[in-house]
A = this chain, B = another copy of it.
Amino acid sequence: VSPARARTSTEAIVAAGRALLETGGLDAVTMQAVAAAVGVRAPSLYKRLAGRPALIRAIADDVATELGGATAPALELEDPRDAIRALADHYRAFAHRSPGAYQLLFSKLLPEANPSVEANAAAARGLLQLTERLVGRERSLEAARLLTAFAHGFVSMELAGAFRLGGDVDEAYRFGIDAIIEGLSVSGSQR
Interface, chain A (partner B; CB < 8 A): 25, 103, 106-108, 111, 117, 120-121, 124, 139, 141-143, 145-146, 148-154, 156-157, 159-167, 171-172, 175-176, 178-184, 186-187
| Contact call B117/A159, Cβ cutoff below 8 A | no
The residue that A142 contacts in the complex, of B150, B156, B157, B176, with Cβ under 8 A, is: B176
The residue that A153 contacts in the complex, of B156, B172, B182, B187, with Cβ under 8 A, is: B156
Chain B residues positioned under 8 Å from A184 (CB to CB): 179, 183
Chain B residues positioned under 8 Å from A148 (CB to CB): 153, 157
The interface centre, meaning the residue of A106, A142, A154 with most chain B CB atoms within 10 A of its CB, is A142
Give the docked Cα–Cα distance between A154 and B145 (Å): 8
A141: min CB distance to chain B, Å: 5
Give the docked Cα–Cα distance between A161 and B164 (Å): 29
| Contact call A108/B160, Cβ cutoff below 8 A | yes
Chain B residues positioned under 8 Å from A187 (CB to CB): 175, 178-179, 182
A9: min CB distance to chain B, Å: 29
Chain B residues positioned under 8 Å from A167 (CB to CB): 141-142, 145
A25: min CB distance to chain B, Å: 7
The residue that A149 contacts in the complex, of B107, B143, B157, with Cβ under 8 A, is: B157
Give the docked Cα–Cα distance between A24 and B139 (Å): 37
5 new A-B contacts, CB < 8 A, other than A106-B160, A124-B165, are: A141-B172, A145-B167, A149-B153, A149-B154, A156-B156
